[in-house]
Amino acid sequence: MPPVLNITWKELLLNFRDRSGLILMFIAPFALILVIGAAFGGFSSETSATIGQIPVVLVNHDQGEFSTYVIDAFYSEDLSDLVSPSLNSDESQARLAVDNDQAAAAVIIPANFSESIYPKALQNGEFPNNSNDNPFQRETSTIEVYRNPSRVISSGIIRSIVDTILDRFVSGGLTTEINILQMIQFGLITLDQAPEIGEKLGREAANNPIENDWVSLKTENFSSEPQQTEFDWLTYSVPSMAILYLMFTINAAGRSILTEKNQGTLSRMLVTPTTATHIIGGKMLGAILTGVLQMTVILLGGTLLYSIQWGSYFGLILLTLAIVAAATGWSMIIAAFSQTPGQASAIGTAITLTFAAAAGNFLPRGALPEWLQNASLITPNGWGLEGYTNLSLGNGFESVLPAIIALFIMALVLFLISSLIFRRQYQ
Amino acid sequence: MPLIETKDLVKKFDNFTAVKKINFHIQQGEIFGLLGPNGAGKTTTISMLSTLLKPSNGDAFISGHSVVEEPLLVRQIIGVVPQEIALYDDLTAEENLKFWGRMYRMSGKELTRQIEKVLEQIGLTDRKKDRVETYSGGMKRRLNIGVGLLHQPQLLFMDEPTVGIDPQSRRKILDTVIELNQQGLTVLYTTHYMEEAQELSHRVGIIDHGEMIAIGNQQELTEMVGEYDTMRLHIQAQEDGQQLAARLKEIPEIIEASTADHEIVIITPTAEDVLPTVINIANQLNIKIRSIDIQEPNLEAVFLHLTGRALRD
Ligand SMILES: Nc1ncnc2c1ncn2[C@@H]1O[C@H](COP(=O)(O)OP(=O)(O)OP(=O)(O)O)[C@@H](O)[C@H]1O
Ligand SMILES: [Mg+2]
């Protein structure tokens, strides 16, 4: 085994033999993830295993025919395993059911829902001539999903079901079908032309879904604070705690340069036929492998616990490597500027906590002031949180590429600076 | 060609000079003792010879290789037993030896065989699977030495390898050094125990305040003092030492009288003759003497003669 790998192996042996180190590495972050889960998600009544038969109350204020599409969708065979819908004509009762945690969400269909899709005027044959592009004048309507904030996952599922149904109305075949029916009804086109024009309309609709926002979706939690609808504490807590504890682990690894200096083993290595660069390199490789293992365990555990869907696993792996490398760079800088392990520990803890607070490990990153969100991009935490959040929202590899590049550049710069300092100290 | 040769070796720490233009050489097959009190510059010298510290001035050559220019070549030849125990407490003896062996690019059967051999030599075979943190001080010392021997170096630096251990372990270590030397190992051994230097070394260098004040074999060194005896008075109270030493210095037959830890060391040509006078003075001063020890000329006397101080002060 070449000396560099020999040192790496020794680092791993020591790291995984140190019981308090292991607790800090794996137990503590999971404990916090679970605490956050209990505090924000009520996950005891809601683990991925119990999702299914999500209770949802449907309120239909609409007399028209199109709201029944929505209702029928909830009662369809496809969704019968997932949701357990009930109809209630009283909106306030429905909201109360959600507030009392009897339902994950209430879906409230407004009175003008059908009108917004197929205006009465058209049904009565009143054909407005004021526009060539969009011959049908419609009012907009808003379906509300009233969410139960203690059932983050299942109310999120309800929301996405409504989303999908509305998608079908707005950009999918349903409106196209209606449009063509109307056109034939009013003698604007003949039956022969229907397929061709239908296809054209459909394609237009698919390309410009925004122009067709006759129906919109409103999601509401009963808390009065404006909430980002996509933000989910449970999902967020996993990368957040993983990054926080990664920094602690990696700092300990960097600090071990000074511990070894104190206990004489660094000097002893320096009188073997091995250069200082190789010694530091071997130790850093050990730190990186330890960090990658820690991140893998925490992210994997969190993913299983909260059924997180990552947008790109390739992105996830690269982002994890990048953040571990950047964290290692910081720990080396800290070790290079410290004289004793105690000093490195104090500086390391201060930096770790400052970085975590500034980058949003303890708060949603989106809740931080704009300037702090930008300033905290000098930390691995900032880029890491942005990257993991993007991936957990289902975004693909491109969405994390900037974070990956930034983190690797950060790592490179820190490695260079600290190795210059180490070279002056040890050779 | 000598195995070690130094050329005006100097080490400065900021504006303090720890080693001042040291020149000496050690031949293949020798045990060379570097004797000196605390802070004399022994460790600093060894650190430069083992390429850990860069000399501020001058150079040293190990088997012809400059420690400044060719440190990696020098490191292939040498083994180092540091003064402070340098081991991984969380690893077992076997794991420590494996790690350090691999640092010298040893592997496979050769490594396994050497580990077994060294464990036998240092008497730790039956504890090899235990973590070092569970070892006694003496066992750690022995393993510390074992690591230095593992890769069968040509030249071994041992920096006070017996500090702070029981007489039995110490005896074992000294015997090991002698045995290894008989098998051809060259040893540079530092100590502030006169007895160790005396027993082990073919030649001794006496170092004090960063200067090599004398060098030679024991006969050559003791001849510097002449045919003088060393007399040690063990006294009850440390505080009485100065007063008694001052009075004893007035006696014409006493060349030197110096205080050390509960001891007064006296250099005199005729120990038996001055003994009654010494006891008399002690009685006059009401100082209680617990034991008296008279020795033939030795390195302690040489040091005292050269510096006016006892070796252990
Ligand atoms: N890194 C250093 N920085 C400053 N001064 C140093 C350093 N290392 C050693 N010294 C000083 O150099 C002098 C010689 O130290 P050295 O360790 O070589 O002595 P020594 O003979 O080995 O002593 P001991 O028997 O106590 O081990 C001492 O005064 C010590 O304080
Ligand atoms: Mg020393």
Write out pLDDT tens, residues B161-200: 988 888 888 888 899 999 999 999 999 999 988 888 889 9
pLDDT band, residue A45 (cuts 50/70/90): very low
Nearest to A267 among B86, B104, B105 (CB): B86
Beta strands at B186-191 and B155-159: parallel, antiparallel or unpaired: parallel
pTM: 0.71
Regarding the beta carbon of B43 and ligand 1, being less than 6 Å apart is answered yes
Confidence of residue A216 (pLDDT cuts 50, 70, 90): low
Measured in angstroms, how far is the CA atom of residue B46 from the centroid of ligand 2?
9
CB contact under 8 A, B147 and A14: no
| pLDDT greater than 90 at residue A211 | no
- Predicted pLDDT at A219: 55
Mean pLDDT, chain B, rounded, equals: 91
* Unique residue bearing structure tokens 């305040």: B209
Residue from B44, B108, B73 nearest A272 by CA:
B73
Testing ligand 1's pocket by substitution, the residue of B42, B83, B191 carrying the most ligand atoms inside 8 A of its CB is B42
The number of C-beta contacts closer than 8 angstroms across A and B is 61
Decide: B40 in ligand 1 pocket, CB within 6 A.
yes
Q: Taking chain B, what is the end-to-end CA distance rounded to the nearest angstrom?
A: 37
**Assigned token pair, A199:** 């296809």
What is the chain B residue with the closest CA to A13? Answer: B91
Using only C-alpha atoms, chain A has a radius of gyration, in whole angstroms, of 29
Task: Judge whether A58 and A88 are in contact, CB under 8 Å.
Answer: yes
Give the whole-angstrom CA distance, residue A174 versus residue A167.
10
Residues A307-333 have a mean pLDDT of 94
Among partner residues A270, A272, A275, which is closest to B104 by beta-carbon distance? A272
Domains of chain A: 3-44+230-426 (no CATH), 54-222 (3.40.1710)
Per-residue pLDDT tens digits for A247-304: 999 999 999 999 999 999 999 999 999 998 899 999 999 999 999 999 999 999 999 8
Residue B71 confidence (pLDDT): 94
**Cβ burial A105-133 (10 Å sphere, 16+ → b, else e):** bbbbbbebbbbbbbbeebeeeeeeeeeee
Q: What is the CA radius of gyration of chain B?
A: 22
Give the mean model confidence (pLDDT) for residues A406-424: 92
Starting from the edge strand earliest in sequence, which strands make up the sheet with B203-208, in order? Answer: B78-81, B155-159, B186-191, B31-35, B203-208, B211-216
Query: Residue B86 and residue A264: Cβ atoms within 8 Å?
Result: yes
Q: What is the DSSP letter of B287?
A: P
3-state secondary structure string across A98-155: HHCCCCCEEEEECCCHHHHHCCHHHHCCCCCCCCCCCCCCCCCEEEEEEECCCCHHHH
Residue B56 Cβ inside 6 Å of ligand 1? The answer reads no
Contact predicate B45/B122, CB 8 Å? no
Q: Which residues pair with B215 in a beta bridge?
A: B205
CB–CB contact A10 B91 (8 Å) = yes
Helix (H) or strand (E) holding A219: strand A215-221
List pLDDT tens digits, range A138-189: 677 888 889 887 777 778 778 888 887 777 766 554 555 556 655 665 555 6
Predicted confidence band of residue A388 (pLDDT cuts 50, 70, 90): very high
Which chain A residue has the Cα nearest residue B84?
Answer: A264
Q: Are strands B203-208 and B211-216 parallel, antiparallel or unpaired?
A: antiparallel
ipTM of predicted assembly, 2 dp:
0.84
Return the higher-pLDDT residue of B77 and A116: B77
Contacts of B84 in chain A (CB under 8 A): 263-264
Which of B9, B16, B158, B188 maximizes ligand 1 atoms within 8 Å of its Cβ, making it the mutation to test the pocket?
A: B16
pLDDT at residue A137, rounded to an integer = 54
